[in-house]
Structure 1
Amino acid sequence: MTPLETVQHMYAAFGRGDVPAILACLADDVQWEYGEQGPTPAPVPWLQPRRGREAVVGFFESLAALEFSRFVPHKLLADGPLVVALIDLEATVRATGRTVVEDDEVHLWHFDAAGKVCRFRHRADSWAHAVALGAVA
């Protein structure tokens, strides 16, 4: 599969709740939420940096705190080993009943030479996620 096809496959698997299919597309040492997180990363479990396929399982486990009412990848842009996805989502944090809404949340998918995801990052409104979680006022 091309990187674009792989990302389409992973979003379809996410929609089915098929986490093993997503994990199979990741490099063993994938960097999840790569990049500088600042002196204090957002207190949002699903936006924490992780390293390695096994650690990414924790990301999917953390999503159990959310009830998604909308998750729509509406634009996928591919350029070689990079796929950029724009996502519209709405999810309610089960513990607080508060909703987070993202229009055009950006997902960055980087692929290695073997066709596996080697780096991934959400570009999301982490403050809105933290407020919905009740982690900040």
Structure 2
Amino acid sequence: MPATAQEIFERYVWAGMTRDAAALAEMFTVDGVLEAPLVPADHAFPRRLEGRTEIHRAIAAYYERSTDTDRKVNVAESRYVLHATADPDVFIAEIDTALDGSGGTTRMSLVQIFRLRDGKIALLRDYFAPEQMD
């Protein structure tokens, strides 16, 4: 039985929360694409990554250079809603994340569009305010 949108989304979030670049990349098809269209070209977070190998390499490098490791996701205060579409291989995640850190709790809202193929992510478009990733 193929994984549900919720299962895929929750595994993706867990890989990100635990900063596990290998697990995150493994969720993508071999030719999968991760896009962050709102990110400027010179930002530390990559704007577009093509292929599982490139996703793994770039996300691992991003995790290594990230300086704000004291921010942790507050699961109890974070919320998400998954929206089904007419295409069974496409779903949308509407997310409000609460992040606890030394300066208190901050919130980040974002939208992710997932396109699946054979139970893996073929395309993920991640729409967030890049200044909140610094």
- CA distance in structure 2 between the aligned counterparts of 1:18 and 1:103, rounded to whole angstroms: 21
Percent identity over the alignment is 14
**Contact kept? 2:92, 2:111, Cα under 8 Å:** no
- Counterparts of 1:60 and 1:22 in 2: how far apart (Å)? 10
Q: Any stretches of 5+ residues in structure 2 without a counterpart?
A: none
Query: Counterparts of 1:54 and 1:91 in 2: how far apart (Å)?
Result: 31
Query: Residue deviations 1:40-89, cap 9 Å, x none?
Result: x3421214211111111212321331425133552131313213140425
Q: Which runs of 5+ in 1 are unaligned?
A: 93-100
- Residue 34 to residue 88, structure 1, CA distance change in 2 (3 Å): closer
User: Is the alpha carbon distance of 1:45 and 1:8 closer, same or farther for their aligned partners in structure 2, counting shifts above 3 Å?
Assistant: same
TM-score using structure 2 length? 0.69
Amino acid at match of 1:74: R
User: Do structure 1's residue 9 and structure 2's residue 11 form an aligned pair?
Assistant: yes
Distance 1:106 1:5, change over 3 A: same
- The yes-or-no answer on 1:83 pairing with 2:92 is yes
The 3 A distance-change label for structure 1 pair 44 and 120 is: same
Runs (4+) off by over 3 Å: 89-92
Cα RMSD of the aligned pairs, angstroms, is 3.1
Aligned position for 2:109: 104
Q: How many equivalent pairs are there? A: 121
The aligned residue for residue 55 of structure 2 is: 56
